[in-house]
Each structure stands twice: as structure tokens, then as C-alpha cells.
Amino acid sequence: MKKHTILFLAANPLGTDRLALDREAHAIQSALERSGYRDWFEFVTKWAAEPLDLLHELRKLKPTVVHFSGHGSQSAAGEHRPNQALRRDIVTDLDFHGGEQGGLFFQSPDGRAQFVSAEAIEETFGAAGASVELVVLNACYSDVQAEALLAHVACVVGMGGATHDHAARSFAIGFYGGLGESESVAAAYKQGCAAISLEGLHDVKRPQLRVRAGVDANHLVLVADPR
């Protein structure tokens, strides 16, 4: 039996909102363990992820799924933050990351935020991500990265705007619970969105599922029922 490795990369650098990433990882692990096909998955976590960790873990683990949990970026002129709920975005001046628009914040060796552009992430998956079928970017403003990754990955979940920490965690519980029950990626995505609604989080941005041309997410199942 070939197990599918789910690589969970978490980064919550100094100076950013403190997110409950440990609770998210625990929730995903619990959802998989409760599922009927739990023995088909191996859940691997990488904490305080630095940029080069992405390349290293892709080469070492050859995962089927890569999940990034942390902060994305927007410019200071971007979307307004209406309240003080914990969010997974970092509002910055464009000069902070060289004028790039769209990226993720990993952790630098000194613990501070290190911006990685969508172009660099796409290049890394192109170089070492041949095993990856699905990517989940559980960070705000990650839709640009999601679009770029479709050149190498069948399906990518990204966030079109700012998302609450609670909503990101709820989506992950529903989504991976679905995958663990031999649901298609499309069905698992719908279940993740349903989990957000069940928590009463109706006013938050929903994750977006992007699918590469020629791929049908309704028929993409990581674990097919052998019966």
C-alpha cells in the first residue's frame, strides 16, 4: 500500500499575528485519524518553516499534498481590515518585498518574516514538486500563488482575500476529513466550505479551488475504494 504524504508547512514569524497553527495541524491529524482510509495517509509537519525547507521537503518526502499554513501579503493600499480578528495577512508597503505582488511569508533564521514571491514558489514546485497533486495555501491573499502553481499541480486551494484564523482551521477540518473518506477533491472542497458555514462564519472570504485545464476535480480521488 502506497501512502500519500501530506506535508504541513507552518510559519508564524515574529511580529505577525499569533495564529493557532498547532491547533490546525492537530485538527487535520484528528480528521484523518477518524476517517475510513486513515492508513493511506502520512501527515508530516514542519514548524517554523524557512524558504529552503520547501525545496528540501519536496525532495525528501515526495509528498502528494502540500499544505502551507501562515501569512500571505497585500499592499498597504489593499483591502481594508474591518476588525481585529486574527487574520492570515500582513499589510505591507510594496517596497518591503521589492515591488512584488503576491507571496507567502516564511520564517527567516532569526525568526522574522521572510517574503517569498509567487514566482519563486512556482519555480520551486517546477523543479522538485513532480509528486504533488494538490496544494492548499491556507494563508490570506494566496490566490496569485495558486494560479501560478497550476502549471505544475492539478488542483490548488488559495484565498482570494483576508481570512480569519478560525475559518482557515474549519476549512481544513472539513476538507481533509473528506479526502480521508475517499471523496474527490471537489467534494472535499465543498465539505471544507460547509464546515466554515457550520461554525457560523458567514462573513468571511471563502477559499477558492483552482483546477488545471484538462483536470476534473470531481474525479480526482487520492484514495480510491478498492471494492
Annotate 63-84 with b (16+ C-beta within 10 A) or e (fewer).
Answer: bbbbbbbbbbbbbeebeeeeee
pLDDT at 75 (0 to 100)? 46
Share of the chain above pLDDT 90, in %: 75
- Report CA 58 to chain centroid distance, whole Å: 15
Q: Which residues of the chain have pLDDT under 70?
A: 1, 74-101, 225-227
Domains identified in the chain and CATH numbers: 4-211 (3.40.50.1460)
Residue 223: closest CA among 179, 176, 192: 179
DSSP assignment of 174-186:
HHHHHHTTT--HH
Grid cell listed for 25:
495541524
pLDDT at 206 (0 to 100)? 86
pLDDT at 165 (0 to 100)? 85
pLDDT at 1 (0 to 100)? 66
pLDDT at 77 (0 to 100)? 37
pLDDT at 100 (0 to 100)? 53
Residue 104: closest CA among 78, 148, 71: 71
Q: Which sign, positive or negative, has the C-alpha torsion 36, 37, 42, 43?
A: negative
